[in-house]
Amino acid sequence: MDAPTLHSRFLSDVLPRIQQDARVTGVAVAGSIAGGHPDIYSDVDLIVVVDDEAFDSVMKERLTLIGSWAALVAGFTGEHVGEPRLIITLVGPPLLHVDFKFVRASDFAERVEDPEILWDRDGRLAEALAEQPPTPTSLDLQWIEDRFWTWVHYGVTKLGRGELFEVIGFLNYLREAVLGPLAARRVGAIPRGVRHLESIAPDEARELRATLCGYDRHDAGRALLAGVDLYTRWRDEAGAPIERNRQAEKLAVQYLHQVIDQAD
C-alpha cells in the first residue's frame, strides 16, 4: 500500500489497537488509498468490520472506541451524508481527516468498489469479496432528465428575484448532482459529484468553469445558460436511450432567456 507518511504512520499506529477488540473481525481501507492515488490532502477511509452479534453494542461506543484507538480531536456521525454508520473525525496533531465506517461482517461485501483489506482475523473478509463482486454506482440519466427542467425553472425564478446567493447555490447543486457526474461518465469514471474532476476529466472541468459566476445578475444568467448548454450537449452525446421532455425543455429555456432579457 502506497500512502503519504502521515497516513501510513496513522494506519500503523491505529491498526494494532483496533485488533485488540475481539468484536472486530477485520479492517479495510477504501477511497484514494485503496485506489492507489492518495496525496497529502487525502482522507483516510477506514472500514471497521464488526461481528454481527456485537454490532449494536459497538455502535453505541463508537466515539469512545475511536478515542482509545487514536488521538481524537473532533468527531461526529454521518447522517448528513446518508451514512449513519460513519464517524467523521479529525485526529492528531498533525491533523488528519479519518472516516471510520462501522459495518456488520455480513454486510462487508456490499460495495461499489473494492477496498484494501488491512487485517482479516479469520479470512472471512477476503472470502466475502471473492464471492460477491462490487456493484458500481450508475448514473440514471432518465432520472436527471425528468427533473432537470423543473430545476432550471426554479433557478431562473431566483435570478428573476435578484436572489443571487440562491442562484450561485443552485449552480453549485447542478454541478454536484448533474454536470459533474455527467463529466465523470464521459471519461468512464465513477460519478462522485465534482470530486477529482480536474485530474480525471480535465477537458470537461475546463468547460464547467463556464458555469461559475460572481455576485452579478448578468454573470449569473450567463452561467445558467452555460449549465443548460452543457447538460443538453453531454446528455445528447451520452448515447443513452432517454425519453426527453421536449416541451419542458423548450419552455424552461424560453423562460430563462426571458428573465435574462428583462435584467438587461
Single out the residue of 108, 95, 145 nearest to residue 24, CA to CA.
108
Single out the residue of 197, 215, 217 nearest to residue 206, CA to CA.
197
Q: Could you identify the residue written with the cell 450508475?
A: 138
Asked if 4 and 35 count as a contact pair (C-beta separation under 8 A), the reply is no
3-state helix, strand, coil in the chain (%, to 5): 55, 15, 25
pLDDT tens string 27-74: 999 998 998 889 999 999 999 999 999 999 999 999 999 999 999 999
Specify the CATH number of the domain 141-263.
1.20.120
User: Which parts of 77-216 fold into alpha helices (H)?
Assistant: 124-131, 141-161, 164-174, 180-186, 197-200, 202-208
* Type of residue numbered 93: P
pLDDT tens string 110-159: 998 899 999 999 999 999 999 999 887 788 999 999 999 999 999 999 99
- Strands 72-78 and 83-91, by their bridges, are antiparallel
Return mean pLDDT, the chain: 94
Q: For residues 70, 74, 77 and 81, what is the CA-based torsion angle, rounded to 10 degrees?
A: -110
Residue 2 has pLDDT above 80, yes or no: no
Topology of the domain covering 5-131? Beta Polymerase; domain 2 (3.30.460)
- Give 111-141 as a DSSP string: -SS--EEEEESSSHHHHHHHHS--------H
Residue 190 has pLDDT above 90, yes or no: no
Residue 240 has pLDDT above 90, yes or no: no
pLDDT at position 264, please?
63
Q: How far apart are CA 246 and CA 234, in angstroms?
A: 16
pLDDT at position 256, please?
97
Asked if 224 and 152 count as a contact pair (C-beta separation under 8 A), the reply is yes
- Model-level pTM? 0.86
pLDDT at position 36, please?
85
pLDDT tens string 199-228: 999 999 999 999 999 999 999 999 999 999
Per-residue cell: 216? 452579478
Asked if 97 and 90 count as a contact pair (C-beta separation under 8 A), the reply is yes
Residue spans of the domains in the chain: they are 5-131, 141-263
Q: How confident is the model at residue 1 (pLDDT cuts 50, 70, 90)?
A: low
